[in-house]
Structure 1
């Protein structure tokens, strides 16, 4: 199976996910968190560093559960638009087509 390259948005979401998990983990060790979530410490380390930008849903769910994060909160956090960048919406695309 050939895996397509990640988009810039996917890479950025991966970085946000890693930062969120690091903040939520606080003083708790990677080893303790990973073992409680039943993932390898290396997997958690890669997710937190952004090296795995699109981890499996079950992996995110297990880690979020151990850290007391709701999946809704995780999703909302990692999908925040960049400051100063207008999100692409069907309304904006329609306006651009009309202006052309």
Structure 2
């Protein structure tokens, strides 16, 4: 199976997700949060560093639960950045 390369926006969205998860984790260990979410610490590390920019829905949902985040908050914080619209002049 050949994967379609990710777009730059998909990579940026993955970076925003990773930053949000790191921020929400705070001082708690990666191992603690990963175990609570039922995933490996390595998987969490890859998501937080952007090496896994498109994690599965249920992985994100499990992390949201472990970190006390709502899926709405994740969507809002990780949504694509609005494109700049030139002003008519």
Partner residue in 2 for 1:86? 84
Q: Distance in 2 between matches of 1:67 and 1:77?
A: 15
Q: How does 1:11-90 map to 2 (within 5 A)?
A: 11-81=11-81, 85-86=83-84
- Looking at CA atoms only, which structure, 1 or 2, has the larger radius of gyration? 1
Runs of 4+ in 1 over 6 A off after TM superposition: none
CA RMSD of aligned residues (A): 1.6
Shift of 1:45: 0.3
Check conservation: 2:18, 2:49, Cα contact below 8 A.
yes
Q: TM-score, normalized by length of structure 2?
A: 0.91
Shift of 1:55: 0.4
Unaligned runs of 5+ in 2: none
Deviations 1:28-62 (A, max 9, x none): 00000000000000000000000000000000000
Q: Distance in 2 between matches of 1:67 and 1:59?
A: 12
Asked which structure has the greater RCO (Cα within 8 Å, sep 6+), the reply is 2
Q: How many residues align?
A: 86
